[in-house]
Structure 1
Amino acid sequence: MVTSLPVFDLGQVASTVVLDQLREGIIVTDAAGAIRFVNEAARAMHGVAELDVEPKDYSDRYHLFTLEGEPHPFEDLPLARAVGGETVVDAPWVIRRPDGTEVYAVGSAKPLLGADGEQIGAVLTIRDETESFRARSELRESEETVRAFFETAGVYAAVIDLMAEDFTLVMGNSRMAKAFGLEVLTGQSGRTILGDRRAQTVIADLRRAAVSDEPIIVEYPWNTDGNDRWFVTTITKMSGTRERLFLASLDITDRKRAERDLAAALKTKDVLLHEVNHRVKNSLHIITSLLELQESSGDDDLTAHLREARGRVETVARVHERLYKTSAHDRVEIVGYLEDLLTHVVASVGQRDGIDFEFCERGGEVELAVEYSVPLGLILVEIAMNAVKYGFPSGSGGTVSVETEIADGHLSLTIYDDGVGVDAGPKDQGTGLGRQIVRALAMQLNAEVGYLKRPRGTAFSLTMPLPDADAKS
């Protein structure tokens, strides 16, 4: 739309046409402030283009509001202030158009002076900043949301810029600032805050994170509020840069204290178990010594029974002796334990000249808990003692052999001799105490047991599944 002007005033016609081509809105008033000209851009921004509107009616007629959404006081509007002789630069306000849409406007206004220096009016230029205003508003909301999250999420958060020999704290939440003893984190030097020695350790971790595709996690001791505390920190390289990193820390002091208390409790438990095994071992050795003394009573039948009892007690004592000598306290390396029983306990209790004892292992070693070790040891002693007792009558000599094999998640134990054989020796379904003990212990181990046929002598076989943890070791 072109404002009607006298034909002879070509300069004014040209000026009006030019102003209508501008993207910025233009509003011109006379000396009293009444609007005399509105260009097309201003008309589009407002949705109206009323003329002869006076300053007190600017807000009403053009629907002008503050950024807070309140009706804009006319005296504070840039155009009204320019009518009063003031120059205003880049003042913001909101235009609410008749169709309900809003325009975020930024305008500058200044007085218009005539040739004699007297004010003849005022001019206002307006820019439509709706898109940029909304973008800034969304960015602010996003930043406020992120900041609110990090201020309330219980983490110590900071953004840093890594440099050649130092790092700079770009920003951080109040928790992190407080941990460093600062009001805010903005631009401080890492070395200044931490000191050279501690900063050097932190910088090394920052450099690792800067070249890593994945976040790195480290633990740091720190003194905050006068208290020694521990923090676990995740350091993440921010997208598109190797210099800017994000740090998020959690206070793990309680966890560290729990770990320390647990370690102390475990140490105390180890000490107590060590002492218990030591005392049990000593007590059992006292019992075996008493039984050995009692064997000299002169009654051959009683002596044989006492000797068997001493072998069983010493089998248990040997377990506790091994537990006392190791740090496990509840597990025994079973192959070495069985060899020890054969070459010391059986040989000692058997007391037979001319009988040799041999031990052979295949498949390596394995540790078993006490509830498996003791039954296995008792079975070996019972069967080996039977071999000594029944396999070599009339003082004849020979060899008692024990073999162990660890394979396919099972432990196999074979005890055999080159004596008179199973027909002349013990029967598979015997009724003696020793045989009852073996059957009960085998059931406890979930083991398969039985005697094997041999051209000479007797052979006893036991096969048991290893507990899951031991089968995998």
Structure 2
Amino acid sequence: MAVESREGELHLASLHALFASELPVGLAVLDEELRYRHINTMLAEANGVSVQQHLGRTVREVLPAAAASLEPLLQEVLNTGQALRDFEVAAEVPSLPGELSEWLASYLPIADGAGRVVGVLVQALNRSLERRAERIKLESDQQLRRVLDSLFMFVGVLTPDGVLLEANRAPLEAGGVTLEQVRGLYVWDTPWWSADAANQEWLRGAVARAAQGETLRRDVVVRMAGDTRMEIDFMIAPLRDDSGRITHLIPSGIDISARRASEAALQTSEDRFRRVFEGATVGMGLVDQRGVIQLANESMAQLFGYARAELVGMEVHQLVPQRQREQHVSHLKQYMREPALRYMAKRQELYALRRDGSEFAVEIGLNPLPESAGQQVLATISDVTERRAAQAQIERALVEKTVLLNEVHHRVKNNLQVITSLLNLQGRNAEPAVQQALRDSQSRVRSMALMHQMLFERGDLSALELGPYLQRLCGLLRSTYLGESNSIALLVDVPEQGLRIDPQRAIPCGLLVTELVTNAFKHAFPGGRTGRVHVSLQRLAGERALLEVHDDGIGLPPEQTPGQGRSLGLQLLPLLAEQCRATLEIERAAGTRARLFVDMEGTAP
């Protein structure tokens, strides 16, 4: 956009409205001494100096490297009263130090009422900054495309009336189509949805409702490459601009075929458990935390001489001889406070009371079910004479428990991965501070998900090798915070085996390392400084290990202390150290060094 003016007739007072407007061209007014009297924001930013730092200062004072090129041209306009229009000039300015910027400029004389030239109106456009901005935008768009294409989720962009504009790589590859083949189609007419008219009709309505501001979610079956079918967790949500107007719709989906298979496997496992429970040759009963029998199998009924219906609702103490009943009540209360799989008769023989008043020696196995409604315990009761048969039943029950726990770890890991993906989507259009907080939350969730994933992969639910866990955790933190940057090096020195930690302490230990490493990434190297973060683990004398996180950055400020301050990470450090039975020490010399002395006692070798 150009500013038209008659030479010598432009008065300074008439420029105020122009300088207050958001014109896409830089404007400035210089007096006879080439001092800035007025300048708009666009030209000030292009020069790399604030508006206030321009006013009252000469061109040479503001732009010393460019003065030699600009002053002769400006002086020519002052001396001749002739305008210089649409000329190109190369000059170095603070916004691009060390290089010549290409400018398109016009210098117009400003005359007073008597026709005397009293200043120069400058119109300028920094083409170098424009090209850099265009290049940065292109790189940003390309990076966004790479991020979208790296997602395992199905993500797209629609117009408010349902026309597909963009889709990431995952649904395109899964569907066997290219973006060019589906772009511009109504989403319900794309190959994914074309196999089911009912789904198409639902999607039309969902698009209309999303365009009104609703977010809709549904499990649907869609067509994929080779005319195969995939069940996905589908969601469509509106995307609003800064004014709240809905500009696009965002459809997304997650393949839940594996989840459905897992649910079916879990249901099969539960059915198998039911069949085992009903068909067991030893007595089995489900007891709640009050000691009331909730469920009993036929073997238990025959063992005690009751009908199954009579046992349900009976206090379990009624099946214990009177002389042992008081002690049994005490044992049960203590057990319910800290329920665990164990044999109550491990060191002593217990006796049970039949309906007819006769006693018989029994062995009782207890298996808590913490996921049921309230605390419940599955009791396995057998006559001592059937010890071997009872032991086989207990072993089968343990196998079932292991399968269930393994499935739980797998599902928890999957759910945590979904949470991470949702946080990623939530932060995409959030404020920078919110994006940083969401990214930190993602790192914490990933550290927990990694523990469940490694337990599931290795098939050992009792303990975790701390070295490989830290190795993989640091790899996640490197990719999340550093990406392809080489300014900060993350070094990990941990043993492959020999330091095992139980799952209850692995999570706080991983969260603690996550907080220390991310804090170093974010605060130890300000202003683009280079540096190194070193994570190490070694065994000490006795049942102890030393875990260190050390950086060579600027060091933790003296006023910041773990457990205090507003930073969530610093507040969490002492609590996490306590949860993993460790002692935390912080040194501030030569950067920041955090030492974590972990008590490994009680962990399986």
What TM-score range do you get, normalising by the shorter chain? Answer: 0.3 to 0.5
TM-score normalized by the length of structure 2: 0.34
Report the structure number with the largest CA radius of gyration: 1
TM-score normalised by the chain length of structure 1:
0.44
